[in-house]
Amino acid sequence: MSSTTTIAWTYLAPNPKSSYKQLFVKGTRIRARVLYGLFASADEPMTAEEIAADYCLPVEAVREAITYCSSNPPEISEDLRREEQIMEATGMNDPNYKYGGKYKILPPGELARILDS
């Protein structure tokens, strides 16, 4: 199943105010991928019930986010690819970045090109 298949999500929807194309929990700024990451964590996986309690969400919303992300929707891969391009272009991938490395501010045109790619 992929997100290109028409699915009527109850708790998930795009956020028109975000540059991310993946779905969010309706009425929040919480990306479905964030909830899925907590569930699928290799180090400390959480249950849907634990995530729902931590985020004050219905358990069904968390389960829907898990189902959505498990379907491997292409928009999540595209969002991750764009994030990597921005990190590379701004110098955030530099190993010394967190130790005072230089952050390059992207000109609006270059940022728009990355976001539109």
pLDDT 10s digits, 72-108 = 999 999 999 998 998 888 888 877 777 776 777 877 8
**pLDDT > 50? residue 26:** yes
Three-state DSSP state, 43:
coil
Confidence of residue 5 (pLDDT cuts 50, 70, 90): low
How is the chain split into domains, by residue range?
A: 12-72, 75-116
Q: Which of 27, 115, 37 lies closest to 69, judged by CA? A: 37
pLDDT 10s digits, 39-70 = 999 999 999 999 999 999 999 999 999 999 99
Spatial separation of the C-alpha atoms in residues 79 and 58, rounded to whole Å: 25
Encode burial over 57-71: b for 16+ CB neighbours within 10 A, e otherwise.
beeebbbbbbebbee
Q: What is the pLDDT, as a whole number, of residue 113?
A: 81
